[in-house]
Amino acid sequence: MIIDQMVTHELLTPLAQAAMNSPNLRINDWHRTTLSVQGRRTIFRFAGMGYNGTAPQPWSLILKEIEAPERDDAPDLELDCWFYWQRESLLYAAGIPQTLNGDLRAPRCFGAMEPLPHLRWIWLEDLQDCYVGKWPLDRYGLAAYHLGKFNGRYLAGQPMPVAPWLHDHGLRSASGAQVMDNAMVRLRDPAIWDHSLLRSAFSQPMLPALERLAADRERFLAGAAEMPRTFCHLDAHSDNMAALVNDTGKEVTVLFDWALAGYGVLGEEISRLVWAALLDCKVEVAEAEPLEAMVFERYLQGLNDVGWRADPLQVRYGYLMSSVLIFPFEMEAVEFAFAEDVAEMECVWGWPQERLIAQNAQVNDLLLARADELRRMLSML
């Protein structure tokens, strides 16, 4: 691979020294492991044994490699695109995630590089979540509290980051691509809903409900037009977080993957924390309402604790709006029903196919109920 030719001893040594806070660290051999590949974004771990004097010292680094889109007309080449391809590397180069500290922070960054015109590299500290397996329910509440403090500080007086590549109204762009360009085109195929597992899993016909939701999109977005906006991560779910215990014994949250960061209304930040946990089967659907109530309450507490007295109804509106304009259309139940290799899917997820479909169908029912709540709120605004 070309990366093995480009990552040299001379490049790695100062990065490893910074990561281990060991300016005299000498490194020799290392190994590279591919941790994940998501489209044009690949996460690698570089690790090896070095020496500080004569004492051996293990070291490791995370490299996030981001490739440019291949097509000249790709939407993510545009600065104001909600998934602009360079945003995360520009954020780290500008030092914006590094300004977070305390309860919520980003991983330490040791370099944001442009090794080739079509590649961006971000070198980060290698962190491991302190929980083995899934988070307990109250850990979602603590993450929500940390996110509330993060969002609230900018409204309480901390200057907001400003850059041409920090997008505003990203929910409009994201929901448009999700609802109109992709999901609804596929979900209008009647053959999908003839699948026996889908027919038995859903308590109501989904397509009319989704059509109504798509038609309400502009009305929902307009309802938030005058609400206060703040700087947000906008992709804050547990797979993009690590729970750590700091040197004082306090549990903190580290927030990864800043590719979607921008401005949003209060409440947008916590929608992914709730619904990704349910749709990814990290939390049982029976615990959905306790999870949602805890996350919302703790988020409000975080806002209040940094001096921003938020209107709970406005926060609820922002949360519901971002929830119902994205997650009902993801339809993981359809993906599970039409999986090419059911045995492999069940091995990866750890649940049988019927249970995966049932969980996601029940979550979608909850989301449609939240859409009805949003409609009632809109009539009162």
> What are the tens digits of pLDDT across the range 221-269?
999 999 999 999 999 999 999 999 988 889 999 999 999 999 999 999 9
pLDDT, tens only, 87-108: 999 999 999 999 998 899 999 9
Instruction: Please list, residue by residue across 98-127, b when 16 or more beta carbons sit within 10 angstroms of its beta carbon and e when fewer do.
Output: eebeebbbbbbbbbbbeeeeebbbbbbbbe
pLDDT band, residue 178 (cuts 50/70/90)? low
Phi and psi torsions of 311, nearest 5° = -80, 115
pLDDT of residue 53 exceeding 90: no
Mean pLDDT of the chain: 94
Read off the pTM: 0.95
Query: What is the predicted pLDDT for the residue at 67?
Result: 97
Token couple for 22: 């060991």
